[in-house]
Amino acid sequence: MNAHIDIERLLPVWEQFRAATDIGPIRDEAHYAQMTQVLEALLDEAQGDENHPAMGLVDIVGDLIEDYETVHHPLPDVTGVQALKFLMQQHGLKQSDLPEVGSQGVVSEVLAGKRELNIRQVRALSERFRVSPATFV
């Protein structure tokens, strides 16, 4: 695609937009907090509508936040069992509250590292907790 871009018209609009929003590569923690608030406001505005005009900005701001977090707030490497234990704790669940994994005994074996989760269990947990299946692998 060889579309002509009128840089002389674009730059003043870009500068006005940037001055109003401060959207750009995240510089520090204060800017990170600001961009997180911008993202939350955009998501509130879109209200889950994937076709809302704000969704383009959601993608851009989300990518900027992800880039910053990758460098400055990296997630620790955890095993699938550690992730499951964390999610159980966050949701106030006991071993018997996970029928998608199996009986309480099966869940106990998984949590003790004596048994690995199978594909069906991973998919079910991923759907239940609304996380990527990779979380449990």
Largest CA distance in the chain: 68
- Within a domain: 2: no
pLDDT score for 80: 92
Say what the alpha-carbon torsion angle 123, 125, 131, 134 is, to the nearest 10 degrees: -60
Q: What is the CATH number of the domain that holds 114?
A: 1.10.260.40
pLDDT score for 95: 95
- Within a domain: 1: no
Mean pLDDT by 10 residues, the chain (137 residues): 84 95 96 94 89 94 91 86 94 95 95 93 92 86
Distance CA 64, CA 69 (A): 9
pLDDT score for 132: 83
Paired tokens of 8: 């002389």
pLDDT score for 49: 86
pLDDT score for 133: 87
pLDDT score for 4: 87
pLDDT score for 1: 53
Considering the domain architecture, whether residues 22 and 49 belong to the same structural domain is answered as yes
User: Of the candidates 41, 72, 103, which is a domain's last residue?
Assistant: 72
Considering the domain architecture, whether residues 85 and 111 belong to the same structural domain is answered as yes
pLDDT score for 2: 60
